[in-house]
Structure 1
Amino acid sequence: MTPSNDTFDGTFPFSPRFSDVAGFRMHYVDEGPADGAVVLCIHGEPTWGYLFRDLIKALAGDYRVIAPDHMGFGKSETPEHRTYWLQDHIDNLEKLVLALDLDDITLVMHDFGGPVGMGLAARHPGRIRRVVSTNGPTPFGQSTLFDRLNANAAVSPWFQWILRSDSQGRLEPVLDELGFNILSVLKLNGFENHARIDDTWLRAYGSRFALPTDSAGAIGWAKGFAIGAHRFEVPDALALDSIRSKPALAIWGEADRTLAAEHFLPLFSEIFPMAPVHRLAGVGHYSFEDAPQEITELIAAFMKTH
C-alpha cells in the first residue's frame, strides 16, 4: 500500500481520507466545498486517484471532487481472503457513497471505473446527475455487450495477453511484479505522452505494487476477465430510463490499444444517443495522462453547460 502521507513530490498534494465502511481501509480524496455538487472520479487498472490529479485541481474550486481508490489500489488496503471481481468493487463504492451520503453526483469514469460507476448508477440512479465516460466502457445490460467484449479482446494486446498468460499459468507471476514492469503494462494498454514520465511519476504508479502481496487488485481484474468471474450490473427498467435522461459526455483517446473506440463507444451511444462524443486523435488509453488539459477543459465546460 502506498504510504498515506506520500504526496509524490507535491504532485498529489491532497489530504488523505479513509473509510472502513466496506470492510477494509479505503482511501479517498475529498477536495472542494463540502456543499458543492459532487464529482466522483472512478479509476481503473492499474491506476488510482493519482490519475485524476489535474482534474481535481481544476474543479475543486467550484465542486466537491471525490476520488476513491479501489480495494487493492493506490492508498487503499489490499485485504487477504477477499475477491477482487467487478461486483466487489461496485459493492465497495456503493458503501462509501451511502456512508458519505453523496447525491447530485457527476460520474467521471476511466477504464474499469466505467462498469463500476455504471453499477452504482444502476443501483442508485436518483443519486446521479451527470455521466462522463473517458476511455471507460459504460456497460448497462445491453444485449450486444458480450459480442463487443469478445470482438475487442480479439484485437487488444492486453486482453490477448491476459487470456494467453492465464491459460499458461503466467498471469499471476507477471502481475506479482507489477511494481517493476508498470511502464510496460501502461504502454501495452496505450500510453503516448512520454513527456509525463519521470522518476516521481513512475514511483506514483509503480510503488503501489512493490510486493507480490500488493498486487491482488491488479490480478483480480485481469483474472476475472480470463475466467469470466466479473458480473456486470443489469438495471431494472426504471433505473435504465432514469439514467438515460441524464446529461452525458464521452471522451475517448483514439490511440487506446485496450478499449477500442469502435467497440465501446456504441455502448455509450446506445444509452445516450444525443450525448456529445469527443474522439481525441493520438491520445491513448490513459487519456488523463496523455491529454490532461484538453480533457479537463471538456469536462469543465460540460459541467457548466449542464
Structure 2
Amino acid sequence: MTSMYTPGETLEPRLDYVMCASPAGTHRMAYWEWGDPENDRVLLCVHGLTRTGRDFDDLARQLAKHYRVVCPDVVGRGKSDWLINAANYVVPQYVADMFTLIARLNPKKLDWVGTSMGGLIGMGLVGTLAMSAMLRPDRGSLGLPADQTLSLGKIVLNDIGPQLSFAGLSRIAEYVGEPIQFDTFEQAVDYVRSVSAGFGSHDQAGWEDLTRHVFNQKDDHWVKHYDLRIAEPFADQSEAIIQASESVLWAAYESIASPIFLVRGQESDLLTAEAAQEMLARNRHARLHNVPGVGHAPTFRSHDQIDPVVEFLLEK
C-alpha cells in the first residue's frame, strides 16, 4: 500500500478505525495517528475516563518526527462505537481492545503514555503480558519463534498508579454520567472548566480545545461526546472493590522492567503524594515529576509539561 504520509506533515492527525470484539459483539475503535505510518517505533497515548485521543495533540506534534504516534478514542468515547452491553466498560475490555490495535500497528518498539484511565489500561496490559508469560507453554517446544513477543518499552503514567484515592474517584463519579446539554458551545466550555479545575490554569482558547472533542453538537444542543453508560460500572466500584484490585495493579506495576516516568499533579486528589513515593520505592525503574499548580490531571498542553515527557521518551 502506498503511504499518503508527507515527511514533515505533523499539523493534523489521520483518523482510522480497528474492529474489536466484546462478549456482546463487535465494535469499531477510532484512533488518531501522527507521523510516518511506516515507522515501527510506536508511541501509544491513551486518555482518561471521559476524554479522547485528541487530548494528546500537542504532545504528538512534538514527537511525530520520532514516533508513529497513535492516540485511540477508547470505546464509548469520541469517534469510537458505543458498546452493546454497558457492563463491558471496564479495564479488561479496554486492554483487549488495545491488544487488537497493537496487532494492527505491529510495532517493533512500543512506548506508552497513559493519563488516568489510560495508565490503568497500560498497567492492565503489562499484567496480562506477565501472566501470559508465566502460564504459556514454552514457545520453542511448540515450534514457535521465541522472538515474536510484545513488551512495553518506556511508560509514562500521568497522575495514576496502583493505589487510588477513593475520594478522588467519588468526585469524578459525580459528573461522569450526568445527562447534561447546553444551548451553546460557550456554555459547554464553562461546564468543562467547572468540572476540570484540576487541569490547572488555561486560557480561553485552551479550555475551548479541551471542550471541542468531548462535547458534540446534536440538533440544536451541545451534548457529551461519550456514552453516559460508562458511569454504570464506574459507579459500582465500592471502596472495598477498589482496595481488592490494588494488589493486582501493584503486581503489574512491580513487574515493569523498563523505565517509568511518573507525572503527578502536585495538587492531585487521585494520586496522593504518599502513593507516588510508594511507587518509587516499589519499582527501581521509576522516577517522579511533580507538576506545580495542577491537580488531576496534567494536560500536556504547555512546554513545561510536554518537555519533560519528550526528554524522557527520547533519551538513550
TM-score of the alignment, normalized to the shorter chain, above 0.5? yes
Aligned to 1:59: 63
Q: Contact 1:18 / 1:25 at 8 angstroms: preserved in 2?
A: yes
Q: Contact 1:87 / 1:232 at 8 angstroms: preserved in 2?
A: no
Determine which of 266, 288, 303 is the counterpart of 1:277: 288
Q: CA deviation at 1:67?
A: 0.8
Distance 1:272 1:253 in 2: 20
Aligned to 1:215: 227
Determine which of 155, 175, 182 is the counterpart of 2:178: 175
Determine which of 28, 32, 36 is the counterpart of 1:25: 28
Query: What runs of 5+ residues in structure 2 fail to find an aligned partner?
Result: 1-9, 131-149, 183-187
Judged with a 3 Å threshold, the aligned counterparts in structure 2 of structure 1 residues 62 and 233 are, in CA distance, closer, same or farther, namely farther
**What does the per-residue CA deviation read over 1:58-106, in whole Å, with 9 as the maximum and x for residues that have no partner?**
0001111111111111211113324212222122212222233234211
Determine which of 54, 69, 91 is the counterpart of 1:86: 91
Aligned to 1:48: 52
Matched residue type, 1:295: Q
Aligned to 1:153: 166
Aligned to 2:260: 248
Matched residue type, 2:201: N
Q: CA deviation at 1:265?
A: 1.3
Moved more, 219-228 or 38-47: 219-228
TM-score of the pair, normalised by structure 2: 0.72
CA RMSD of aligned residues (A): 3.3
Judged with a 3 Å threshold, the aligned counterparts in structure 2 of structure 1 residues 84 and 17 are, in CA distance, closer, same or farther, namely same
Q: Contact 1:17 / 1:27 at 8 angstroms: preserved in 2?
A: yes
Residues 1:121 and 2:123 aligned together: no
Distance 1:81 1:133 in 2: 29
Aligned-pair identity in percent equals: 23
Judged with a 3 Å threshold, the aligned counterparts in structure 2 of structure 1 residues 68 and 220 are, in CA distance, closer, same or farther, namely farther
Distance 2:250 2:195 in 1: 36
Matched residue type, 2:315: T
Moved more, 194-203 or 221-230: 221-230
Higher relative contact order (CA 8 A, sep 6+): 1
Distance 2:79 2:98 in 1: 15
Q: CA deviation at 1:128?
A: 0.7
Distance 1:267 1:178 in 2: 41
Secondary structure (helix, strand or coil) at the match of 2:213 reads helix
Distance 1:279 1:208 in 2: 36
Matched residue type, 2:106: D
Aligned to 1:105: 110
Q: Contact 1:78 / 1:217 at 8 angstroms: preserved in 2?
A: no
Q: CA deviation at 1:108?
A: 0.6
Moved more, 110-119 or 205-214: 205-214
Residues 1:286 and 2:297 aligned together: yes
Distance 1:43 1:110 in 2: 5
Judged with a 3 Å threshold, the aligned counterparts in structure 2 of structure 1 residues 221 and 28 are, in CA distance, closer, same or farther, namely farther
Residues 1:295 and 2:305 aligned together: yes
Distance 2:179 2:18 in 1: 26
Secondary structure (helix, strand or coil) at the match of 2:48 reads coil
More helix by share: 1
Distance 2:98 2:247 in 1: 13
Matched residue type, 1:52: F
Distance 1:84 1:229 in 2: 16
Distance 1:222 1:236 in 2: 20
Secondary structure (helix, strand or coil) at the match of 1:296 reads helix
Number of residue pairs aligned between Structure 1 and Structure 2: 269
Judged with a 3 Å threshold, the aligned counterparts in structure 2 of structure 1 residues 81 and 300 are, in CA distance, closer, same or farther, namely same
